[in-house]
Structure 1
Amino acid sequence: MLNTREFQLENLDEVANQILENATSKTILFYGEMGAGKTTLIKALVKALGCDDDVSSPTFSIVNEYSVNDGLVYHFDFYRLNDEEEAYNFGIEDYLESGAWLFIEWPERVKHILENESCNRLTLESLDSKTRSIKFTTH
């Protein structure tokens, strides 16, 4: 487990590498207010996994896929989901069983679907324009 700590955005690549080194699951749940930096951190994680694609928020598409060195990353943004049934409709179970990296923003929107999954939890808080607080919990 990484303790709660503060970091500067200029050290984002280092933080991403530490998360990947400490992850006990390929599923990471991202918690934090709008604008806390969840997507920015996910961009750094995808880069650290070996992808140079332009990583963007899947707010409207719900999921983006990226090829990385050891397979795939699926980046989810569930902010616009109305209910968990929508996640079932696009096949969330297939993604959960894929063995790929899953980076999930707004996981509280599908909490019942994820309750039995092995996941890491990451909470971000914006302290100012250049500083974030991060708490990374492994299960």
Structure 2
Amino acid sequence: MKKVYELELRELDGFVKDVLSEFSGGVIVLRGDLAAGKTTLVKEFAKQLDCSEEVTSPTFSLQQCYGEKIFHYDIYNHGLEHFISLGMLEELEKDGLHFIEWGDEALIELLESVGIDVMSIDINKISDKAREYSVCIH
């Protein structure tokens, strides 16, 4: 089931609260163009989960961890096969929320096949201050 939200960025806190009420553990695949707001969304999740650490894009490091329950990955530069070859699928079994930027349908199918709960959020930039979020729990 897909839900679509059209929000101004200042409304992200309520959106994230709604998402967390439905999905509190597993993998959230974030998709959207460059500068759509994928990392901004992860920052709001971290804030809602009482994480005081600075959230940054893991574009060049592949993975960032915030506390013991928030994990943030970016597979843009290396792709899914590299992610798997590094043994990162095992990381996704850790308790908490795992955010993967630039995931695709192949990743979602793989995660489902091994029994990992998956949500996808597609982000479409409407304007500098507004986004459309399409949310699907797989």
Q: Tell me if TM exceeds 0.5.
A: yes
Q: Aligned runs of 1:100-139 on 2, under 5 Å?
A: 100-108=96-104, 111=107, 113-116=110-113, 117-139=116-138
CA distance in 2, matches of 1:78, 1:110: 13
Contact map agreement 1:59 1:77 (CA 8 A) in 2: yes
Cα drift, residue 3 of structure 1: 2.1
Give the structure-1-normalised TM-score.
0.86
Number of aligned positions between the proteins: 135
Residue 107 of structure 1 aligns to which amino acid in structure 2?
G
Bigger drift between 125-134 and 9-18 goes to 9-18
Which of 89, 95, 116 in structure 2 is aligned with 1:93? Answer: 89
Contact map agreement 1:25 1:120 (CA 8 A) in 2: no
Q: Where do 5+ consecutive residues of structure 2 fail to align? A: none
Cα drift, residue 9 of structure 1: 0.5
Q: Indicate yes or no: 2:12 matched with 1:16.
A: no
Give the structure-2-normalised TM-score.
0.87
CA distance in 2, matches of 1:107, 1:55: 19
Residue 87 of structure 1 aligns to which amino acid in structure 2?
F
Shift in CA distance, 48/38, structure 1 to aligned 2, threshold 3 Å: same
Contact map agreement 1:79 1:109 (CA 8 A) in 2: no
CA distance in 2, matches of 1:83, 1:45: 24
CA distance in 1, matches of 2:84, 2:60: 17
Shift in CA distance, 18/32, structure 1 to aligned 2, threshold 3 Å: same
